[in-house]
Structure 1
Amino acid sequence: MHLVGMSMFERHTGLNVFNMISKFMDALYIKWHAKLIGMSINDKNTMTCHHTNVVTRIVACAKHKVLWIWCVSHQIDIVIKALVENINGDS
């Protein structure tokens, strides 16, 4: 698992977020487009609301198909919510 924190001083539009991530990845490894095979996203609502098209833009510039995976914390959240609903008798 990798964690990177970056300050963003512009509006959090999809294009601005994509540009920031793209510049960061270019600084790390200029050929990242050819190496990207998978990425973790937090959830559909976030990626389609104020971060519109961030994942779509990243995947579009990749050379190969990219596997989208929900991040670990959101996978755990889904399981915990299901367990709590099961314990409470909610369906």
Structure 2
Amino acid sequence: MRDRMQAARDARIVMGTEEGERLIGYLLDYCHVFKASMGADCDPNRTLFNEGQRSVGNEIVALIVNDADRFKPQTLRKVTSLAEGTDI
């Protein structure tokens, strides 16, 4: 992809739509950003796999909130609630 700053601008554009908010919320949930990566069975291989997914989710969050002038706490709260399946 192009440079990281362009990717961050693109991510904020996507987040500016209802569909984009739902998509980002789904991806963050899928990537275990807001939940434990260790399963009930404590399988270390599954935990490491989930941690790899989490690193992708963390990058998505970083792209959305990387610009301090544009960061809005309510945006991250909304993304979190969408990922958790609760709408605020």
Tell me the TM-score normalized by structure 1: 0.29
Larger Rg computed on CA atoms: 1
Q: Which has the higher contact order (CA 8 A, sep 6+)?
A: 2
Query: Which structure shows the higher helix fraction?
Result: 2
The TM-score normalised by the length of structure 2 is 0.30
